[in-house]
Amino acid sequence: MKLTGAEIFVECLKREGVDIIFGYPGGAVLPIYDEIFKKNYFRHILVRHEQAALHAANGYARVSGKCGVALVTSGPGATNAVTGLADSYMDSIPTVCFSGQVPTHMIGNDAFQEADTVGITRSATKHNFLVKHVEDLALTIRQAFHIATTGRPGPVLIDIPKDVGIASCEFRYPETVNMRSYKPVTKGHHGQIKRAIKMMLASRRPIFYTGGGINSARGSAELLTRLARKLNFPVTQTLMGLGGVPCDDKHFLGMLGMHGTYEANMAVSHCDLLIAIGARFDDRVTGKIEAFAPEAKIIHVDVDPSSISKNVHAHLPIVGDVKVVLGQMLDALKTANTKPNAEALKVWWHQIEEWRARDCLHFDQDMDGSIKPQFVISKLHELTKGDAIIATEVGQHQMWAAQHYGFKKPHRWITSGGLGTMGFGLPAAIGAQIAEPKATVIDIAGDASIQMSIQELSTAMQHKLPVIVAIINNSYMGMVRQWQEMFYESRYSHSYCDSLPDFVKLAEAYGGKGLRAEKPGDVETVIKQALANRDTFTVIDFVVTKEENVYPMVPAGAGLSEMVLA
Amino acid sequence: MRHTITVLVENEFGVLTRIAGLFSARGYNIENLNVAPTLDASMSRMTLVTRGDEHVIEQIKKQLNKLIPVIKTEDLTRQEHMEREMILIKVRASEDTRAEVLRMADVFRANVVDVSESSYTLELTGKARKLDAFLRMLEPNGVIEMTRTGPVGMRRGAEGFTVDDD
Ligand SMILES: Cc1cc2nc3c(=O)[nH]c(=O)nc-3n(C[C@H](O)[C@H](O)[C@H](O)COP(=O)(O)OP(=O)(O)OC[C@H]3O[C@@H](n4cnc5c(N)ncnc54)[C@H](O)[C@@H]3O)c2cc1C
Ligand SMILES: Cc1ncc(C[n+]2csc(CCOP(=O)(O)OP(=O)(O)O)c2C)c(N)n1
């Protein structure tokens, strides 16, 4: 059967199981948009800026476990998408982005709305393609989804010239994909697993250090929790790994790294075995490399061989998918003839409990004073029973959310970790709400960040999404201000946001509900009102203490044990 | 240390840019890059010369393998292997020096590929060091221009560097 490129596009996406696309039309993608209109197979979410389409696809992917899909036009559409692609690339989120391109015969002529999209996005994607012949389209789409969702996931871009959407050819759907140059390893090497178990059982001060890989591999979180409980080993997680083990499990020590807990950073600094699972030893995690887990042997499980021994040498590398490897470890444990060293673990746990007793995240809320940001987050946890999907922008509020929200399950925490993109949270929350229409979805935002994607309130309104935007409003770019206070003698160079809009009126102008809390006593009331509103989005303006700092903090370049506690 | 790495890639649009981009984006050093077709038209073979300590070389290989169109890599430096490079040198040749230039070509077993009234163009294939020496010997005569291919290499013995398609 002969199909046009645009028809092939719709047909292939349907077969990939795509039911949601986030996009924004323009000249070069009109043939595709026309086909989307005619076929009406999937839901198209019209965003207000192409960057938001990619962030929404990212949020959607993290919550649904499916591949996020975005569609943008050529030139400015594609360049607007770059930040969103780079963000998904850094955080390894599976997305496929389709961009329109000028007709093939005009490529390279500085044609209207032409950009070298493949060139520009090469280093912001896992892979990208330019489809020059309609005959190649189906296979390319098939390969793109395969690449985006397997191995270390990531964004893939397909650039489709306008004439390729119009031209037609015999449609043949490739039922399977087999790329000789791309074959990710999923199963851990048997001998290495055995050695890992041996090291684990022999260790006296072990710790699991787990990351985004656990949130990425569906079903792995339960295995991790089971393994940690069975061995009675402590677990710390990166910002990307939160939710991997329930926050109220006693084995969980909280996040590690720059704004990690005292107990997690001290345990890592003193452990004799660090078992890294789906984490990439980011500099926000390690602090000064030489002082990171100085006494430990390191086991590193990662699907991407280039993550292993990149920053920190791994004594025992295991290339494989975390879910498969955790399963292999649990199996190997069943047949192992030794047990964990209970005596040593008792001493280790005793030490950990001493560190934990410092209660490093403690804060005092004076009910007659100004609202503390930490208080807002704790109340959000309490009133949603820790069951909401939380997205964030970037800054102090993001760190407080990570420290104080407390996740009971994986796939409920959507934050921009690697790129740290302000403006990420609202569109990501929109994507999450689309994936789980019934869930409570909250974007914990800063007053500066929220303005980078504020136009997406319009998207939330159009698609009737009850997203809650909780603005922790300190009138500052708080994270920048904190660094200026600590490292630049309080010279607050351009970090104060004068002339902030009235967020309540702004919410109303976009058609949603706007609420404000100015006193600690208001916090619970407005949160309850927001949770009750399922008809529109709600923006809550929490007017908080202006110069609160995030602690603990490991100053950049210092070792993890050199934390500043308050 | 200097490493010669062979890379088999899919013969598709943009592969070279991906490889060059990888080296510039990650700040790896690249001394030479040579690309040529293979017996199988769907693949190209690259020979790449780079420098770095063990850790850097290890990362370079991992990052190369991570590129989607890269099928296979091999660090020749770790194997019994041979490397060859070709040079074209255009040297001045006057009435007085002609014989000397030809004698030098003969000693190094270089070929004369072009002759003009005042110049010879010579071609020589060999190991990089031999080419360096040849160039040095000719310099006093006045080298007008030269170009080198950069090394290509393969491992010794009967085994080939190929892919088993499945
Ligand atoms: C303001 C700010 C402050 C921050 N402070 C901190 C901090 O204090 N602490 C902190 O931890 N982070 C912090 N971050 C985040 C930090 O920058 C990194 O994004 C984060 O530490 C990386 O997490 P990760 O190691 O889990 O890696 P990810 O980026 O999540 O990478 C996942 C790793 O797992 C692998 N993987 C993926 N899927 C699989 C699979 N199925 N099987 C096997 N392996 C897989 C990948 O190859 C990769 O190596 C901060 C960010 C910002 C913006
Ligand atoms: C797009 C972008 N630009 C700049 C930065 C640098 N930056 C990191 S945090 C921050 C301040 C964020 O302020 P706000 O959103 O008000 O959050 P707060 O820290 O006050 O909670 C800035 C400017 C960034 N992360 N992203």
Sorted by where each starts, the structural domains of chain B and their CATH numbers stand as 2-75 (3.30.70.260), 82-152 (3.30.70.1150)
pLDDT for A348 equals 98
Is residue A307 lining ligand 1, measured as CB closer than 6 Å?
yes
pLDDT for A1 equals 87
Question: Tens digits of per-residue pLDDT, B91-133?
Answer: 999 999 999 999 999 999 999 999 999 999 999 999 999 999 9
Residue B59 has its nearest CB partner, among A118, A127, A310, at A310
- Which residue stretches of A408-468 are H helix? 425-435, 456-462
Measured distance CA(A560)–CA(A266) in Å, rounded: 7
Question: Tens digits of per-residue pLDDT, A310-344?
Answer: 999 999 999 999 999 999 999 999 999 899 999 99
A126: which chain B residues are within 8 Å (Cβ-Cβ)? 68
pTM: 0.96
Share of chain A above pLDDT 90, in %: 99
All structural domains of chain A: 2-170 (3.40.50.970), 190-356 (3.40.50.1220), 373-543 (3.40.50.970)
For chain B, first and last CA: distance in Å?
Answer: 36
Say yes or no for a CB contact (<8 Å) between B66 and A130.
no
Which helix (H) or strand (E) segment holds residue A253: the answer is strand A252-255
Report how far ligand 2's centroid is from the alpha carbon of A423 (Å): 9
Q: Which two tokens stand for residue A521?
A: 């006593």
Measured distance CA(B142)–CA(A416) in Å, rounded: 61
Is residue A239 lining ligand 1, measured as CB closer than 6 Å?
yes
The answer, yes or no, to whether residue B166 has pLDDT greater than 70, is no
Q: Which residue out of B19, B68, B73, B165 would a mutagenesis test of the A interface target, given it has the greatest number of A Cβ atoms within 10 Å?
A: B68
Is residue A446 lining ligand 1, measured as CB closer than 6 Å?
no
pLDDT for A87 equals 98
Longest dimension (CA), chain A: 74
What are the contacts of B115-123 at 24+ separation with CB within 8 A? B118/B92, B118/B93, B118/B94, B119/B90, B119/B91, B119/B92, B119/B93, B119/B144, B120/B90, B120/B91, B120/B93, B121/B88, B121/B89, B121/B90, B121/B91, B122/B88, B122/B89, B122/B91, B123/B86, B123/B87, B123/B88
A319: which chain B residues are within 8 Å (Cβ-Cβ)? none
Question: Tens digits of per-residue pLDDT, A163-195?
Answer: 999 999 999 999 999 999 999 999 999 999 999
Taking a C-beta distance cutoff of 8 angstroms, is the pair A125, A117 a contact? no
Is residue A393 lining ligand 1, measured as CB closer than 6 Å?
no
- The CA-based dihedral angle spanning residues B1, B4, B9, B12, taken in that order and rounded to the nearest 10 degrees: 90
Measured distance CA(A369)–CA(B121) in Å, rounded: 87
Place of tokens 């047949």: A335
Taking a C-beta distance cutoff of 8 angstroms, is the pair A276, A244 a contact? no
For range A103-127, the mean pLDDT: 97
CA A472 to ligand 2: nearest atom: 21
Residue B68 has its nearest CB partner, among A119, A181, A310, at A181
Is residue A394 lining ligand 1, measured as CB closer than 6 Å?
yes
The answer, yes or no, to whether residue B165 has pLDDT greater than 60, is no
A376, A394, A549, best to mutate for ligand 2 pocket (most atoms within 8 Å of CB): A394
- The CA-based dihedral angle spanning residues A373, A453, A241, A316, taken in that order and rounded to the nearest 10 degrees: -130
For range A492-504, the mean pLDDT: 96
pLDDT for A509 equals 98
For range A256-266, the mean pLDDT: 98
Amino acid identity, position A411: H
- Reported confidence tier of residue B13, pLDDT bands at 50, 70, 90: confident
The answer, yes or no, to whether residue A425 has pLDDT greater than 60, is yes
CB under 8 Å to A143, separation ≥6 — which residues? A129, A177, A179
In degrees, rounded to 5, the angle at the alpha carbon of residue A351 between the alpha carbons of residues A211 and A553 is 50
Question: Tens digits of per-residue pLDDT, A15-67?
Answer: 999 999 999 999 999 999 999 999 999 999 999 999 999 999 999 999 999 99
Amino acid identity, position A204: R
Taking a C-beta distance cutoff of 8 angstroms, is the pair A162, A103 a contact? yes
Question: Tens digits of per-residue pLDDT, B19-65?
Answer: 999 999 999 999 999 999 999 999 999 999 999 999 999 999 999 99
Q: Which residue out of A149, A178, A306 would a mutagenesis test of the B interface target, given it has the greatest number of B Cβ atoms within 10 Å?
A: A306
> Tell me, what's the ipTM?
0.90
CA A321 to ligand 1: nearest atom: 42
According to DSSP, residue A161 is labeled E
Place of tokens 């100015």: A518
